[in-house]
Structure 1
Amino acid sequence: MKTWITICDTCKREGWETGDMAQTDGESLAVLVEAAATGLEHVKTRRVSCLMGCKGACNVSIQANGKLNYTLGAFEPNAEAASGIVAYAMAHSESETGQVPYREWPQAIKGHFVTRHPPLPADE
């Protein structure tokens, strides 16, 4: 089963306007996450414009059908964050329920969880 990393590409961290503004912080993180996930069979990426977590910019969601789904945020748009996000998504894809034991979490994602959503019911 595929796990999807959805990356907000409109996120702007505090102070963004003092930089070169060539791309948003979300776009910068998306480029890094996409590169880190290249070639992975069970982890895919996509971009969306706004996950509505603006206060803790650089937000992603980790999702798969029939599994627990997570929103994470407040990342620095850097390679360490991107590799941690992808490593967690790989562990999520390998988990039957989507729950990954804390001891297996990459250090880069600890402290970045915002929400956990139960899977949608398979039927009414």
Structure 2
Amino acid sequence: MNHRITVCTSCRRKGTETRPGFELIERLRNALSAAKETIPETFDVSGVACMAGCDQPCTVAYHSTSKASYLFGDIDPKTDVDDLIAFAKQYAYLGDGWCSSVDRPGKLRKSTLARIPAADSALEEQKARAS
């Protein structure tokens, strides 16, 4: 199964011109490469111009086919990479991607902006209600 981590590249901390997304992408790719023996699935890391988390930069999304997606905010490339890698390991094992906030590592317990159900599970629930 293919997993993706998407990082906002336009996020800026208020009062600065620094865009931490580019640094975060590089750090995540390096950390995932170093941890590849302990993560059972592959994760592609890419950037996107905006994920509408401007008030809580830098934003990071985890998504995969048939799994819930997550959007995290207020991520710092210097201090939060370990938590992001720990979540990648956890997310890889979650069949539907669903987990409680208390189960998420470190800062990610409090920095979740959204958890979005997988599209196919939402369709299944809609079909079940219709029958």
TM-score band w.r.t. shorter chain: 0.7 to 0.9
In the alignment, is the contact (CA less than 8 A) between 2:3 and 2:42 conserved in 1? yes
> Could you say which residue in structure 1 is the equivalent of 2:32?
37
TM-score normalized by the length of structure 2? 0.78
Aligned residues: 118
CA drift of 1:103 comes to 5.0
Structure 1 residues 59-68 or 101-110, which shifts more?
Answer: 101-110
Q: Indicate the percent of aligned positions where both proteins have the same amino acid.
A: 24
Structure 2 gaps, min length 5: none
In the alignment, is the contact (CA less than 8 A) between 1:3 and 1:64 conserved in 2? yes
CA RMSD of aligned residues (A): 2.1
Structure 1 gaps, min length 5: none
In the alignment, is the contact (CA less than 8 A) between 1:61 and 1:72 conserved in 2? yes
In the alignment, is the contact (CA less than 8 A) between 1:32 and 1:82 conserved in 2? yes
Structure 1 residues 57-66 or 98-107, which shifts more?
Answer: 98-107
TM-score normalized by the length of structure 1? 0.82
Larger Rg: 2
Match of 2:76, as an amino acid?
A: E
2:26 equivalent to 1:26: no
What is the DSSP-based 3-state SS (H/G/I as helix, E as strand, rest coil) of the residue aligned with 1:55? coil
Cα deviations by residue, 1:24-60 (Å, 9 ceiling, x for unpaired): 1221222221221126342221111111111111001
